[in-house]
Structure 1
Amino acid sequence: WKWHCFRPWETYKADISIDVEKHHKPVKFMDKFAYWTVQALKVPTHMFFQRKHMCHAMLLETVAAVPGMVGGMLLHCQSLRRFEQSGGWIKALLEEAENERMHLMTFIELAKPQWYERALVFAVQGVFFNAYFLTYLASPKVAHRITGYLEEEAVRSYTEFLKDLDNGSFENVPAPAIAIDYWRLPAESTLRDVVEVIRAD
């Protein structure tokens, strides 16, 4: 195994402890708008993918990588216009976008998507990026709340993925090199380990 970013003895036990039931209850109108927007997007996605976890994960991560980039870009421009600091938010949002991108790169390694799946990812990203960009311009608070509800759905989706891996419905293949390298996982890690760290992210 060729190590790229760290030495074999620098592996560590990732913190994968999360509250999978955590939910922000929508109270205000904007919260409810964000919640039902995500629910409306969820229905066709679940109907289309059903138990195709890899393809579903690819689509999820394509969408999840957009908010951080949009938010970081708009805050960057705002900081330049106003000649003021962002309080660290630009860096945090761009790092989040990069982290989500690495999730996508990992699932691409595992799923080996066909041309039509790549076309779907391309189309979804194009539509979502522009819609999210306009939403962020109108109300950053709503945009961030949409992201929060998207992440809640991602946690539920990965929890279902883990259940199918545990009951043998999905083969627990070895972890790809990109995942071992990025999350500093042990060389013998499996797909289940990868899904756990992605869910924790």
Structure 2
Amino acid sequence: MGSAVAGGVLLRQLGKGFFVSSAAAPGRVMGTGFGPARAAAAWAWRPARFGSSLRAAAAEEGEKVEANRGQAGKEEGKEKVASYWGVSPPKITKPDGTTWRWRSFMPWETYQSDTSIDLEKHHVPSTLGDKLAFWTVKVLRAPTDIFFQRRYGCRAMMLETVAAVPGMVGGLLLHCKSLRRFEHSGGWIRALLEEAENERMHLMTFMEVSQPRWYERALVFAVQGVFFNAYFLAYLASPKLAHRVVGYLEEEAIHSYTEFLKELDKGTIENVPAPAIAIDYWRLPPDATLRDVVLSVRADEAHHRDVNHFASDIHRQGHELRETPAPLGYH
């Protein structure tokens, strides 16, 4: 610390000495050329007390550092601020007065899933683009079935790391488009980003249920890297096709969570208590179980299915998303 302080003081004093000497002796420095002889003459002009000034300033800086250390030592026993910005976060409480302990979402972002939503709805592929999207999803499902088989907890974890990408990519591109055209988005930017956030909360929940192994984490890196870039390019080329792909992906997600529920009902998978984060996020009862969580997640996926098929239909009819208001969110 002492050497750093002395170095800082040295730089400041050198700067002062240089500019003072330049101003006081313009004939020596500001001539037609600034060669070595003129530089040497300019520096020779600096005050003889420069060394003593440097030592005095360094001593003063050292005293300030020591004083700060002493103050820090006195406050060492106090509670430290745990915040990225160094600002103490506000105290947030639940309606019952207890402290809100989550930082990934706030109490006003919670909701209750509409589990009565139609789960059997299916968009029958009619155009060439629809068929391409449908069979692309079917092909992508095959390696997932082989890798995870009936380990539905880890399967859900992998699914959600991918499912949170389309909403963020679509929202990002619509955001940039809105800025370029100086026009509103019809609420679609918020709807897509809300979808991405909802899928991320699914992942935060299933991380509590299943602890992924190292090779599953590595697979997430690979799959997400490929899928993000592929979906980005697909959305640039054809938003209609991109939304249709997500619609069929959500249909597959509904199927996967339905199979998950069957395994829970048969007892193959233990119906453990619901994670605390899921109870607060979906406003579940305190005695909720994993089955209640899967029901809520499946209902969310059905909502994503409808939103993305609807978005694709709008593009097919020749309209842009901004011309049709976005559907209501989850809250």
Same-fold status (TM-score > 0.5): yes
Matches within 5 A, 1:46-125: 46-125=145-224
CA contact (8 A) 1:6 1:184 kept: no
| 2:278 alignment partner, one of 152, 175, 179 | 179
Amino acid at match of 1:192: R
Distance, in Å, in 2 between the alignment partners of 1:37 and 1:143 is 11
TM-superposed CA distance for 1:8, in Å, is 5.5
CA contact (8 A) 2:112 2:282 kept: no
The secondary structure found in structure 1 opposite 2:183 is coil
Identical positions, percent: 73
More contact order relative to length (CA 8 Å, sep ≥ 6): 1
Matches within 5 A, 1:110-149: 110-149=209-248
TM-superposed CA distance for 1:55, in Å, is 1.0
CA offset digits 1:148-199 (Å, max 9, x no partner): 0000000000000001101111100010111111111111110000000000
Number of the residue aligned with 2:83:
none
CA contact (8 A) 1:72 1:90 kept: yes
| Alpha-carbon distance change, 64 to 110 in structure 1, aligned in 2, over 3 angstroms | same
Q: TM-score, normalised by structure 2?
A: 0.58
Query: Aligned-residue CA RMSD in angstroms?
Result: 1.8
TM-superposed CA distance for 1:50, in Å, is 0.9
* Structure 2 alignment gaps of length 5 or more: 1-91, 98-106, 301-331
Aligned pair count reads: 198
Flag the structure with larger Rg.
2
Number of the residue aligned with 1:7:
95
The secondary structure found in structure 2 opposite 1:129 is helix
Deviates more, 1:121-130 or 1:150-159: 121-130
The secondary structure found in structure 1 opposite 2:114 is coil
CA offset digits 1:108-166 (Å, max 9, x no partner): 11101122211111211111101100000000000000000000000000000001101
